[in-house]
Structure 1
Amino acid sequence: MLIPRLLAALVLIPLVVIVLFFLPLNIFAAVIILVCGLAAWEWAQFLNIRQTNSRLIFAIIWVGALCAMYYGLSPIAFSKACQFALILSLVWWCIALVLVIAYPGSAKSWQKSTVTKVLFSIATLWPFFVGMIVLRMNAYEYNPYVGATSLLYVLVLAWAADSGAYFAGRLFGKHKLAPKVSPGKTWEGFIGGLITALIIAVLASIYLFNTVPFTKVMIGSFVAILVSVLGDLTESMFKREAGIKDSGHLIPGHGGVLDRIDSLTAAVPVFAALVFLIL
């Protein structure tokens, strides 16, 4: 399991850097739309949509809607849509926290409702797309690398929390974090991941974001780290209800696209909301 994870990381990390720093904004948006389309393809399983054609239609609808938003809306309408999506993200992840804590009892309120699970997909994937775009667009005309650096920072935080939790959990894990949702996760792993990511946050505050107040950097980073864990747990809850282990098999050692971006679907939009709407 570890070797495929490392090999996949060796391929994915340089690819992510290229997409972030070297693609024009419109092409970058197209790549993120494609990623969301693949995630929607996998999400269809949570809706009990198993037929290939039906899953493809669901993914195409997602791609079309995101293309219409990004390429079709006026700048003012696009800005308002982004603000709404980021606010929606803050609300949704508060709701998701309650659902995860109360699981499996909470599933009774949504497990048989296709409409509710479609709304869950909207509240998860749409703000993720918006968060990726608005962070990448930040100061783009002034310096195209400012937004790319900020976005990479959020990705690294989530990856550090995930990797730190993986290794700390394997070494020290004894007490289950959320046994009814994800039996493999432990409090020891959670603390190990939190410490790993916070070390990166402190270093970034000193050397990368030294013009931003330390308190603001740490608050935004800390919340993003915590909510990244919630994103992971929420997808695990949906997979458990759908009776699947991995959302897909596209990435060796990591499962599907949703398995790889589950923590990011929470961390990216929440961090963006904190940066642009609150802090």
Structure 2
Amino acid sequence: MLKLRIITALCLVPLVLAALFLLPFNYFALFAGAIFLLASIEWGNFIDKDRAFITMLAMGLVLYGLMGILPLEGLWTESTSLDTLAAGMEPRLSYLYMVAGAWWVVALGLVLTFPRSASWWRGNAAMQSAFAFLTLVPFYWAMMTLRGFQYQENPHFGAWLLLFVMGLVWAADTGAYFVGRAVGKRKLCPNVSPGKTVEGMLGGVASATVLALIVTFSIDLPSQQTIVVLIASIVAVLASVLGDLTESMFKREAGLKDSGNILPGHGGIMDRIDSLTAALPVFVLVVWLLS
């Protein structure tokens, strides 16, 4: 199994990097849209396996409809300043991120009180579909917001920014794994994910913080922007843990070990992006609030 996971990862990393740095913005939007639709199918399995395709179709229509309200071209900016990323954000888009932030606060409550919390959404397809919307739609727009940042002036600037946030999550996952295996004792959320420990989470946050410090100081950001990026990074990493736990909660309630089987050795798309669904919109939200 470990060998299969490594082989799949070695195939995925070049694919992700190629999509980030080689695809023009509009084609990257299609690539991100494909991820969104595949994740929607898997979320449909959490609700009703027999109607997973209907969930994907509904989510696709919602995404397409929102593109008429929040055109992707409006995400582009010509400045390299993170202050401009916040100040220049389309107002309706900022509302989307505030809703996303509120959702992750609610999700925290659901996770902490699981399985009692499941009693009021178990078997409620409409509510679970709303959870899918609140998780996946802001995730998609956060990808596009970061990837499209300063695109007209430097097409790769946003790619590096998006890769930075993704790298924070990967660093946190790696740090949590090794620290958890070495010294993990206290269970973080045993009713949802018995394998995760408090020590592992702290190790992951520490690993991601080190990465954020290295990156921010190596590119010599102004002191105020450095503080904003560091705070946003730490909050995003904490949110990534919540994203992982939230998906684990829905899988556990649905009786699933993995969200799918599209990625050999890894499970489904949601199993790979669960942390990012929270980290990306939360990072953008914190930058917007602090800038």
TM-score by length of 1: 0.92
User: Residue 172 of structure 1: CA displacement?
Assistant: 2.2
- The structure 2 residue matched to 1:210, chosen from 221, 225, 238, is 221
Q: AA paired with 2:42?
A: E
Deviates most, 107-116 or 263-272:
107-116
Q: Is the counterpart of residue 82 in structure 1 residue 79 in structure 2?
A: no
- Could you tell me which of 64, 68, 71 is aligned with 1:67? 64
Offset from partner CA, 1:63-110 (integer Å, 9 cap, x none)? 233234336755679944422221111110011111111111111121
Alignment partners' CA distance in 1, 2:119 and 2:169: 30
Q: Look up the match of 1:159.
A: 170
Secondary structure, counterpart of 1:255 in structure 2: coil
CA drift at 1:11: 1.5
**Structure 2: gaps of 5 or more residues:** 76-88
SS in 2 for 1:245: coil
Give the secondary-structure state (helix, strand or coil) at the position aligned to 2:221. Answer: coil
Q: Secondary structure at the match of 1:112?
A: coil
Greater mean alpha carbon deviation, residues 81-90 or residues 26-35: 81-90
Is 2:246 the partner of 1:234?
yes
The CA distance in 2 between the partners of 1:156 and 1:87, in whole Å, is 24
Counterpart-to-counterpart distance in 1, 2:175 and 2:104: 22
Aligned positions of 1:197-276 closer than 5 A: 197-208=208-219, 210-211=221-222, 213=224, 214-276=226-288
2:39: which partner in 1? 39
Alpha-carbon distance between aligned partners in 1 of 2:170 and 2:158, rounded to the nearest angstrom: 18
Cα 1:84–1:174, aligned 2, differ >3 Å: closer, same or farther?
Answer: same
**Cα displacement (A) at 1:259:** 0.4
**Structure 2 SS opposite 1:42:** helix
Displacement of 1:170:
2.1
Counting matched residue pairs gives 276
Task: Tell me the CA shift for residue 146 of structure 1.
Answer: 1.3
Give the aligned residue type for 1:17: L
Match of 2:151 in 1: 140
Q: Secondary structure of the residue that 1:144 maps to in structure 2?
A: coil
SS at match of 1:264: helix
Preserved contact between residue 176 and residue 185 of structure 1 (Cα < 8 Å): yes
Query: Percent same amino acid among aligned pairs?
Result: 45
Quick check: 1:34–1:63 contact (8 Å CA) kept in 2? no
Aligned-partner SS, 2:49: coil
Structure 1 contact 205–217 (Cα < 8 Å) conserved: yes
Q: Which amino acid aligns with 1:244?
A: L
Task: Indicate the residue corresponding to 2:179 in structure 1.
Answer: 168
User: AA paired with 1:85?
Assistant: L
Match of 2:131 in 1: 120
Structure 1: gaps spanning 5 or more residues:
none
In the alignment, the residues of structure 1 paired with residue 155 and residue 235 of structure 2 have an alpha-carbon distance, to the nearest angstrom, of 26
Partner in structure 2 of residue 20 of structure 1: 20
- What code does the residue aligned with 2:49 have? R
Q: How far apart in 2 are the matches of 1:110 and 1:79?
A: 33
Secondary structure of 1:177's match? Answer: strand
> After superposition, what is the alpha-carbon deviation per residue over 1:120-166, rounded to whole angstroms, capped at 9, x for unaligned?
00100000001001111111111111111111001010111112112
Secondary structure of 2:156 counterpart: helix
Task: Report how far residue 7 of structure 1 moved.
Answer: 2.3
Give the alignment's TM-score, normalised by structure 2. 0.89
Letter in 1 for 2:112: I
In 2, distance between residues paired with 1:76 and 1:6?
A: 38
Code of the residue aligned with 2:171 in structure 1: it is A
**CA 1:160–1:212 in 2, change beyond 3 Å: closer, same or farther?**
same
Q: Which residue number in structure 1 is paired with residue 80 of structure 2?
A: none
- In structure 1, distance between residues paired with 2:180 and 2:146: 31
How much is the aligned-residue C-alpha RMSD, in angstroms? 2.0
2-structure distance, mates of 1:179, 1:73: 40
- Going from structure 1 to structure 2, the CA distance change for 1:221 and 1:175 (only over 3 Å counts) comes to same
